Amino acid sequence: MTASPPLLGRGAIARLGLAQLIGWGISFYLPGALGEAIVSAQGWSRSQVYGGLSAALCCMALLSPLLSPLAGEWIDRYGGRRVMSAGACCNALGCLVIAGSTHIPVYYLGWLVLGVGMRLMLYDALSTSLAQGARGQVLEVMARVTLWGGLASTVFWPLGQGLLQVLGWRGALCVYALFALACLPLLRSVPGEGVPPSQRGSIEGPEPRNPVWLVSLLFTSITMLTSFLSAGLSAHLPGLLDELGGAAGWSVGVAALWGFGQLCARFVDMLYGARLPILLHSLLAAACLPVSLAIGWLGGAQAWLAALFVFGYGAANGLAAIVRAGLPLVLFGAQGYGARVGRLLLPSYVLSAIAPLACAEARERLGARPTLGISVGIGVAIVAAALILFLVARSGVRHSADRSLET
């Protein structure tokens, strides 16, 4: 048996967290800050502009049969540092292409490049790198790293608005590209140098528990639906708050509570999360979703309830990111983590790709409140899947314990 690699130091965690904050802010949260300005300046429809994020996520989905498992295998083989650095360069290039676009095809090309960068740099790539280089402390390290990443919307929505006022949307995107390149020295703290193919079978971890197909289906369903909500609502949250009428011109400020909610949830998880099993983490994160969404659906016209909705959903989203990183280790073990998780996440990329465009269509055809009502229904489905996974996986733990006693 080999000992788990040592826990990353505070400085390394801070650098990785800052890199995630920047990576999320300049890509996933870009439409929330600059989307409406691009609509006004270019005369393109809202669906066309917000469809850019859909294009990025669609790129991840379409390339995922190759890119997603391959990214995991690259990290397994070469280490996360090189792969994530390549992702940061793709993010910089994507921002520059979008900044220079005057026609929709070029605009979407920039988003496609961003899609590759997002897959190679954000949480999924980081958690795979940690599973290789900081095995045994994945949950603790991810909880600390995501404290920083959870502030991406809180920092970059107001920052994007400020850059917009001074430089315009094209200038803001050029600054975003510089932020992406600033991630390169930060990513030197990514652990792990890769595992040679001959040694991959020796990676320790619990053996997958039966029924693997059912556990895989439930895990995939949870990540798929959670990603759909996150991608759709994050791209449109300031606009949704405006349409609900409760933000009174402060929609960007209220929407920034999303990141603050993520930060608070992850801070509490960092302090007390080790006392809860990861399966209970998953159930708790899922239960927060429909509750917070229902607050926005029923009471979002009142500013304080809109703020409570955004904060609560941000908290649920913050917990979900930690669960997404650590749950596969418990369910399937560490052996072949990168490639396995890459395959399981394929459907989540597909639904994430659809989400911003679907949310834009729902806003235009139905309005903000019915859109949130649909989101509540999706949240309830996530809770049901998480509850079944909790019961099935707990039964698997008992079965494994019984078998070990028999032998």
Q: Is the pLDDT of residue 53 over 80?
A: yes
Q: How confident is the model at residue 113 (pLDDT cuts 50, 70, 90)?
A: very high
Query: How much is the pLDDT for 380?
Result: 93
> Hey, what are 300's tokens?
């979002």
pLDDT tier at 136, thresholds 50, 70, 90: low
Q: Which has the higher per-residue pLDDT, 169 or 143?
A: 169
How sure is the predictor about 193, in pLDDT bands with cuts at 50, 70 and 90? low
Segment 340-348 mean pLDDT: 74
In contact, 95 and 26? CB cutoff 8 Å = yes
Q: Are 51 and 360 in contact (CB under 8 A)?
A: yes
pLDDT-based confidence at residue 384 (cuts at 50, 70, 90): very high
In one-letter notation, the amino acid at residue 180 is A
Bond before 211 cis per omega within 30 degrees: yes
Half-sphere exposure of 112 toward its Cβ, with a 13 Å CA cutoff? Answer: 9
* DSSP assignment string, 258-293: HHHHHHHHHHHHHHHGGGS-HHHHHHHHHHHHHHHH
Q: What length does the chain have?
A: 407
**If 0-12 CB within 10 Å is exposed, 13-18 middle and 19+ buried, where does residue 44 land?**
middle
Residue with tokens 């693997």: 212
Q: What is the pLDDT of residue 332?
A: 73
Q: Is the model's pLDDT at 18 over the cut of 70?
A: yes
What is the tens place of the pLDDT at every residue in 142-161? 777 877 877 787 789 889 98
pLDDT band at 249 (very low <50, low <70, confident <90, very high): low
Question: 319 versus 20: which is more confidently predicted?
Answer: 20
CA atoms within a 13 Å half-sphere pointing along the CA-CB vector of 340: 19
Q: Which residue has the higher pLDDT, 20 or 364?
A: 20
Tell whether the model's pLDDT for residue 203 goes beyond 60. Answer: no
